[in-house]
Structures are given as C-alpha cells and as structure tokens.
Structure 1
C-alpha cells in the first residue's frame, strides 16, 4: 500500500522568488538542512544526483529522473530502488501564488513498492525533513537572501 507524505507552508514572498530559490540548486548546501545536494538539469528526462539528510539520520544519495517541470509552478521526479515494484518515490514541489507577495509551497512524495512497510520509521523522519526544508526555503525567500 502506498504511503504519501506532504508538508505545506505559506510563504510571504512572491511565487517567482520562491521558484528561484527552489531551482537555485547550487545554493542548497548553504541553506537547505534536508536536501543538501541536488545536481543536474531540471528538465524532463534528466537524471539528478540528490543527497538528503533526514533529521537525526545519515545522508542518503539517490539518482531520480525528472518527470515534470512546469516553470514557476511544479517540479517532480521519480526515484526507485532497482525497480518501481520494489521501492519508488514520486517526489514533487508545487508553488501556488496566493496573491501578490504570498505563496503556498507544498513538498510531497508518494512512496510505493514492497519495501514501504519496512521503511515506515525512516519515512517519518523524511516528513520532518520536508518541514525543515520548507521552513528554510520560506526564510530564504522572505529575506531575499542570495549567495
């Protein structure tokens, strides 16, 4: 049975600024406590190199494939362990304008495959990682910090 994790935050910054922070992946090591590395082209079909560090956990490296890019609105990828029936994670980021200067940002992932029941405790720390990343993204977008 699939497991879906999601975290949403309202950010007091325009959607284009939130998108700019999200897609400036080279800066992730300077501000992102959860996704400390994201390398590769954000285009459909591209393979990425990603490192996540769940709160209290060890770094985990994986190479998902970008499945959707709607500039300014949505970015998604699919990661898997050997085959999707063993373990897969469909990850997405959504940027929704709430008006001028306000944005709703949602990060979610749908986990599926035979290993999901065995990884439930790990997935809980992943959800906490989403919250930490979303909060850091909000702070960066709201302050307009650029490195």
Structure 2
C-alpha cells in the first residue's frame, strides 16, 4: 500500500532566505512545531538522527538517510520504521522561485510498506496537519527574519 501527502505555501521572501532557514538545522527547535532536532548535520548518502514531535500526535526519533540536498531546490530523506518495507517514508522539501521576493515551499512525503494501510488515518490526519503547521511556522520564521 502507498500514500502521499503534500502541502504548499508561498513565503514572501527570496529563495535564498527560505533555504537559509530550512537548512539552519541547529535552529529548528526554536521555531518548528514538528521537526525538533537534527542530531548531526545532514549529508547526502549519510544518516542523521531526527527528532519529530507531531502536535496532538506521536513523537519519535528516526535515523533517515539523506538522498538529496541541492541548494535552493531540494532537501529529501528516507526513513523506515524498524526495517525497510514495513513502513517507509520519503520526505521532501522543494523550493520554487516565484519572484525575487516570493518562494513556493512544497513539503510532502511518499509512504510505502505493509503498515501504511493501518497508519492511513494518522498520515492523512495528524501528519498532514503537522506538515501544514511546519510550513506556516517556516513562513513566519523567514518573513520575520527578513523584517529585521
């Protein structure tokens, strides 16, 4: 079984400003409602533990492998629950330049594995809402930083 969720938001800031906040991994705990901590700096092809806390939902520490970190474009990782094939998620952030001072942030995740069917209520509920909350918090963080 497979599932996919995706949320988009327009940030009133340059793509460089959005990327700077998205990749300032040490500061997530100060503003992010869902992704609380990166235990080490992400690098393509390597794992980095990440602490997730969904508002009104579960908390967990995962150890995803980072698949793509293309500056000003993509941040992508893949994680698994216990073992690959049980419940996997390929998470992504994509940035698109709309204008010099408008950037589209797209956050999504492809879920696969035998347990997806049993977690679909959480995926389309708590997890999806968490993505919306994260996007709104990132927008606020970037836009407030640009005012200073």
Normalised to the residue count of structure 1, the TM-score between the two structures is 0.94
Q: Secondary structure at the match of 1:16?
A: helix
The count of aligned residue pairs is 145
* Preserved CA contact (<8 Å) 2:97 2:103: yes
Give the CA RMSD over aligned residues: 1.2
- Shift in Å, 1:84: 2.6
Partner Cα separation in structure 2 for residue 89 and residue 6 of structure 1: 13
Which residue does the alignment assign to 1:48?
48
Which residue does the alignment assign to 2:138?
137
Which residue does the alignment assign to 1:58?
58
Which string of whole-angstrom CA distances, capped at 9 and with x for unpartnered residues, describes residues 7-49 of structure 1? 1000001000000000001101110001111232222112111
* Preserved CA contact (<8 Å) 1:87 1:115: yes
Which residue does the alignment assign to 1:68?
68
Normalised to the residue count of structure 2, the TM-score between the two structures is 0.93
Q: Secondary structure at the match of 1:144?
A: helix
Which residue does the alignment assign to 1:96?
96
* Preserved CA contact (<8 Å) 2:45 2:65: yes
